[in-house]
Chain A
């Protein structure tokens, strides 16, 4: 039998019970409440400790000191509030609350392992029971999407790396939209394939091109000329943009066009040239289609570290669209798309190209095996629709109340009590909840065993290196001058 934590007191319901504890349990610790022949799993949500001899009304330290001197340690009490999670074997809902006086034990390792160690990707260990490893269900994580949310430095990259590594061990196809070039030079269990963010206009859909060329669908005349130019360029081969411009120039020179129509054609030509200039960095007429470069069993890194946010938006939306399309035709393996800085790609209060496809995949990806992992340190800036579609969440330290509220509104599984934990989590500790785990858990995320390229630069080391270099140069120069003078003497 495990160590007894305490006994139930007061009026319980089928969700909560209070106990008077024999030792201070930790918040997040699991317990077993025994009553009516049942073993009910519970988690400690609140712990309070006090002394009837030292009530809050005391206002003088001297008084407290005197009481402690007279009474010694005094009679202290520890109380805890437990949330009943379900019958320990099946996790089925409890139909009768525990009676006062029912004993409460620390949950045994075997029970916890049965619940938390049954997935296929190892994430870490239970915070309150370090001997229990926590695994998540990869199927449910991919098909029901995931949000990884935390302030900077709380361990998001490590968490994502642990998950990616787990997926690679399963032969999965993670695709990371790497906004900070963290993953490009990383070492994982599988191959790391870096995909250059280059778009070949030939592989762009007409509608995609039209949006980027910035022709409104209400400008139907311009739209018609662009469509014709696109169709022509596709069949002609060669450089898409050049072919389109050549075609439009030919149309413009035609004697049959009215001056108004000529204006429209020249407008399309101008916009097309603008498009080429604006997106020149990411356009490559010879680049292969990015989705074709994705390989299962490897980490596919779309390196967006040196690309502006606008370009990143174009790349991400294009690849997500193609990926969803290909998956619908079963032409590519199931994929798990990790979107770093998701609040930039799918912001709450403005429209981006990626936002549409992120939302589409959030809604449809489940059926076709395309999963999303939205990673963000600013949850309140993240599109709430996309966030609410993420049925799994790993939430690490979140300090801002507005961030916490935003996350709670998007996740019905995040109770007030778990929410309250978010600001006090240490680096690497997380609330894990959703369909990928049988129960919400406070987890210490394991350290990623591979190597990431990113991380905070050691700026002081860089400065000192420069100082040393300058000092060496000065000394060398001084020696040269001295040598020169000694030669003259």
Chain B
């Protein structure tokens, strides 16, 4: 079945193994050792929450059946309280994945809004900077005047899309509006974005910074923080988003555990980073904040869940993949 793949693998196995190992062996990562601060955090107990979301969908001939959910798990002194949200519905097939990504992200922000008053720190999965920097190429297919009109309507809460791109724009606007609300109500001081894996590469060409710090040392600590800005166009609240300063750094909370990418939507000094690491450390399990891990475990929508949902709806329509047997 996969004979050709195996043949290719047999030919290249040694080379692949070498390439995996060589980048770290060339002695090129040592020059970044000074970027890394070995630091064992002092645990700092503080009510905090982790937020994560997930979606899955099944494309039928006429529509996409989807499930989106998100959950905030708040650690409130010996108790873990949940703030879940979910949506099951149909979508037109065009741009379904893009819309669902935005909807999930919005739902995560809504969960953060649900929980922020009960905690001192809200941890969200991923990177806000990456989310806001993602290219929105579809936007250019909407005439500028129509886009402006849609923004106006959306701000009044009454936008009606006339094309697939417009639907996507409205979804994007809804996401940005929710983000603006979160920034306004929770404040940037309460938010931290944590990525398990990141492809940001500023040190070695083509090698993510996370891999470099992972290879440098197994000790707990954090990297020298960097600041990032946004120069993108936004259909709403552009001034707010462009004014944000993102402080990013990498951190390992426990010896030998994974290096995480940490991002704060604000300027932050070293003392503040160390304090934050203390809070994260106090709730970390196997090197990762437990509320985030718990939130992740609560939201994963698997293929089995989708099959169950489809069975419950009683979908008889074809997906087109039946022909594959």
A424 close to B (CB within 8 Å): no
- List residues of A (59-77) whose CB comes within 8 Å of B's CBs: 60, 63, 66-67, 69-72, 74
Kindly list chain A residues whose C-beta atoms are within 8 Å of the C-beta of B285.
Answer: 63, 66-67, 70
A69 partner, pick from B78, B291, B294, B297, beta carbons under 8 A: B78
Quick check: B297 and A70 within 8 Å, CB to CB?
no
Kindly list chain B residues whose C-beta atoms are within 8 Å of the C-beta of A66.
Answer: 284-285, 290
Quick check: A70 and B286 within 8 Å, CB to CB?
no
Kindly list chain B residues whose C-beta atoms are within 8 Å of the C-beta of A74.
Answer: 80
- Rounded to whole Å, the gap between the CB of A58 and the closest CB of chain B is 9
Given contacts A66-B285, A66-B290, A67-B285, contact A52 B80 (CB under 8 A): no
Kindly list chain A residues whose C-beta atoms are within 8 Å of the C-beta of B79.
Answer: 71-72
- Rounded to whole Å, the gap between the CB of B120 and the closest CB of chain A is 15
| In the complex, residue of chain B having the shortest beta-carbon distance to the beta carbon of A68 | B78
Q: Cα distance A74–B293 when bound, in Å? A: 14
Kindly list chain A residues whose C-beta atoms are within 8 Å of the C-beta of B290.
Answer: 66-67, 70-71
- List residues of A (65-99) whose CB comes within 8 Å of B's CBs: 66-67, 69-72, 74
Given contacts A52-B297, A53-B294, contact A72 B78 (CB under 8 A): yes
Kindly list chain B residues whose C-beta atoms are within 8 Å of the C-beta of A72.
Answer: 78-80
| In the complex, residue of chain B having the shortest beta-carbon distance to the beta carbon of A70 | B290
B172-212: CB near A (< 8 Å → 1, else 0) gives 00000000000000000000000000000000000000000
Quick check: A63 and B286 within 8 Å, CB to CB?
yes
Kindly list chain A residues whose C-beta atoms are within 8 Å of the C-beta of B75.
Answer: 70-71
Q: Cα distance A67–B297 when bound, in Å? A: 14
Kindly list chain A residues whose C-beta atoms are within 8 Å of the C-beta of B284.
Answer: 66
| In the complex, residue of chain B having the shortest beta-carbon distance to the beta carbon of A60 | B286
Kindly list chain B residues whose C-beta atoms are within 8 Å of the C-beta of A53.
Answer: 294, 297
How extensive is the interface on chain A, given as a class? 10 to 19
Kindly list chain A residues whose C-beta atoms are within 8 Å of the C-beta of B297.
Answer: 52-53
B285-301: CB near A (< 8 Å → 1, else 0) gives 11000110010010000
Kindly list chain A residues whose C-beta atoms are within 8 Å of the C-beta of B294.
Answer: 53, 71
- Rounded to whole Å, the gap between the CB of B289 and the closest CB of chain A is 9
- Rounded to whole Å, the gap between the CB of A299 and the closest CB of chain B is 64
Kindly list chain A residues whose C-beta atoms are within 8 Å of the C-beta of B80.
Answer: 70-72, 74
| In the complex, residue of chain B having the shortest beta-carbon distance to the beta carbon of A71 | B80
Q: Cα distance A74–B285 when bound, in Å? A: 15
Name B's interface SS.
mixed
Q: Cα distance A21–B80 when bound, in Å? A: 22
B277 close to A (CB within 8 Å): no
Q: Cα distance A67–B283 when bound, in Å? A: 8
- Rounded to whole Å, the gap between the CB of B49 and the closest CB of chain A is 12
Q: Which of A52, A63, A66, A71 has the most CB of B within 10 A?
A: A71
Kindly list chain B residues whose C-beta atoms are within 8 Å of the C-beta of A52.
Answer: 297
B283 partner, pick from A60, A63, A70, beta carbons under 8 A: A70
Q: Cα distance A213–B290 when bound, in Å? A: 85
Q: Cα distance A276–B39 when bound, in Å? A: 97
Q: Cα distance A53–B294 when bound, in Å? A: 8
Q: Cα distance A60–B284 when bound, in Å? A: 14
B78-99: CB near A (< 8 Å → 1, else 0) gives 1110000000000000000000
- Rounded to whole Å, the gap between the CB of B134 and the closest CB of chain A is 33
Q: Cα distance A52–B79 when bound, in Å? A: 15
| In the complex, residue of chain A having the shortest beta-carbon distance to the beta carbon of B73 | A71
| In the complex, residue of chain A having the shortest beta-carbon distance to the beta carbon of B284 | A66
Q: Cα distance A60–B80 when bound, in Å? A: 21
| In the complex, residue of chain B having the shortest beta-carbon distance to the beta carbon of A55 | B297
Q: Cα distance A69–B75 when bound, in Å? A: 10
Q: Cα distance A70–B47 when bound, in Å? A: 11
Q: Cα distance A53–B290 when bound, in Å? A: 10
Kindly list chain A residues whose C-beta atoms are within 8 Å of the C-beta of B78.
Answer: 69-70, 72
Kindly list chain B residues whose C-beta atoms are within 8 Å of the C-beta of A63.
Answer: 285-286
Kindly list chain B residues whose C-beta atoms are within 8 Å of the C-beta of A71.
Answer: 75, 79-80, 290, 294
Q: Cα distance A63–B293 when bound, in Å? A: 13
Kindly list chain A residues whose C-beta atoms are within 8 Å of the C-beta of B283.
Answer: 70
Kindly list chain B residues whose C-beta atoms are within 8 Å of the C-beta of A69.
Answer: 78
A219-255: CB near B (< 8 Å → 1, else 0) gives 0000000000000000000000000000000000000
Q: Cα distance A70–B280 when bound, in Å? A: 12
- List residues of B (253-300) whose CB comes within 8 Å of A's CBs: 283-286, 290-291, 294, 297
- Rounded to whole Å, the gap between the CB of A362 and the closest CB of chain B is 54
Q: Cα distance A7–B294 when bound, in Å? A: 26
| In the complex, residue of chain A having the shortest beta-carbon distance to the beta carbon of B82 | A75
Q: Cα distance A74–B297 when bound, in Å? A: 14
Q: Cα distance A71–B286 when bound, in Å? A: 15
- List residues of B (44-88) whose CB comes within 8 Å of A's CBs: 75, 78-80
Q: Which of B75, B78, B285, B294 has the most CB of A within 10 A?
A: B285
Q: Cα distance A293–B283 when bound, in Å? A: 82
| In the complex, residue of chain B having the shortest beta-carbon distance to the beta carbon of A72 | B78
- Rounded to whole Å, the gap between the CB of B302 and the closest CB of chain A is 14
| In the complex, residue of chain A having the shortest beta-carbon distance to the beta carbon of B289 | A70
- Rounded to whole Å, the gap between the CB of A8 and the closest CB of chain B is 17
Q: Cα distance A66–B290 when bound, in Å? A: 9
| In the complex, residue of chain A having the shortest beta-carbon distance to the beta carbon of B79 | A72
| In the complex, residue of chain B having the shortest beta-carbon distance to the beta carbon of A74 | B80
Kindly list chain A residues whose C-beta atoms are within 8 Å of the C-beta of B291.
Answer: 70
**What are 10 pairs between A and B in contact, CB < 8 Å?**
A63-B285, A63-B286, A66-B290, A69-B78, A70-B283, A70-B285, A70-B290, A70-B291, A71-B290, A74-B80
Top 5 A-B pairs, shortest CB-CB distance: A71-B80, A72-B78, A66-B285, A70-B290, A72-B79
Chain B positions within 8 Å of A, measured between CB atoms, are: 75, 78-80, 283-286, 290-291, 294, 297
Q: A53-B297, A71-B75 are in contact. List 19 more A-B contacts (CB 8 A).
A: A52-B297, A53-B294, A60-B286, A63-B285, A63-B286, A66-B284, A66-B285, A66-B290, A67-B285, A70-B75, A70-B283, A70-B285, A70-B290, A70-B291, A71-B79, A71-B80, A71-B290, A71-B294, A72-B78
